[in-house]
Amino acid sequence: MSETDLEGTGLNLAVNRHGNLTSASNDQDLTNVLHQIKSSKSPAVINYGSTWCRVCNQILPAFCQLSNNFPKLSFIYADIDECPETTQHIRYTPTFHFYRDGERVDEMLGAGEERLHDRLWLHS
């Protein structure tokens, strides 16, 4: 399996075979992503994390791998240090926000691959 760098994470991760995984590398990217989620009304999950967060770095490879299992969901990674203006409401990393029909419908704080899988299944 080939690998790719998820921009801003410093990690080599398995390539997403569905192309439904992106990263927001600055505030404008994240603003565009949020606007796209609201206008497209397709289900999405945003993983708010940071490079200095040990738990974030532990769950990120699973987040990327799970994107292959849920091709109808858009997966977005946003580093809070790269998007300081649009993530100032995030108080804990990792935080996952789940969107359906353009609206945020759920939030998960912390990690846990099984917990994340169950939430993704629920919202896909």
pLDDT at 2: 39
What's the Cα-to-Cα distance from 12 to each of 9, 62, 66, rounded to whole Å? 8, 12, 16
- Any idea which residues carry the catalytic annotation? 53, 56
Q: Please tell me whether the peptide bond between 94 and the residue prior to it is cis, using omega within 30 degrees of 0.
A: yes
Domain coverage including residue 77: 20-123
Write the pLDDT tens digit of every residue in 39-81. 998 999 999 999 999 999 999 999 999 999 999 999 999 999 9
Q: Is residue 11 part of a domain?
A: no
Is position 3 within any domain?
no
Distances (CA, A) of 104 to 8, 43, 98: 25, 10, 6
Count of domains for the chain: 1
Q: Burial code of 63-96, b = ≥16 C-beta within 10 A, e = fewer?
A: bbebbeebeebbbbbbbbebbeebbeebeebbbb
The domain that holds 87 is classified in CATH as 3.40.30.10
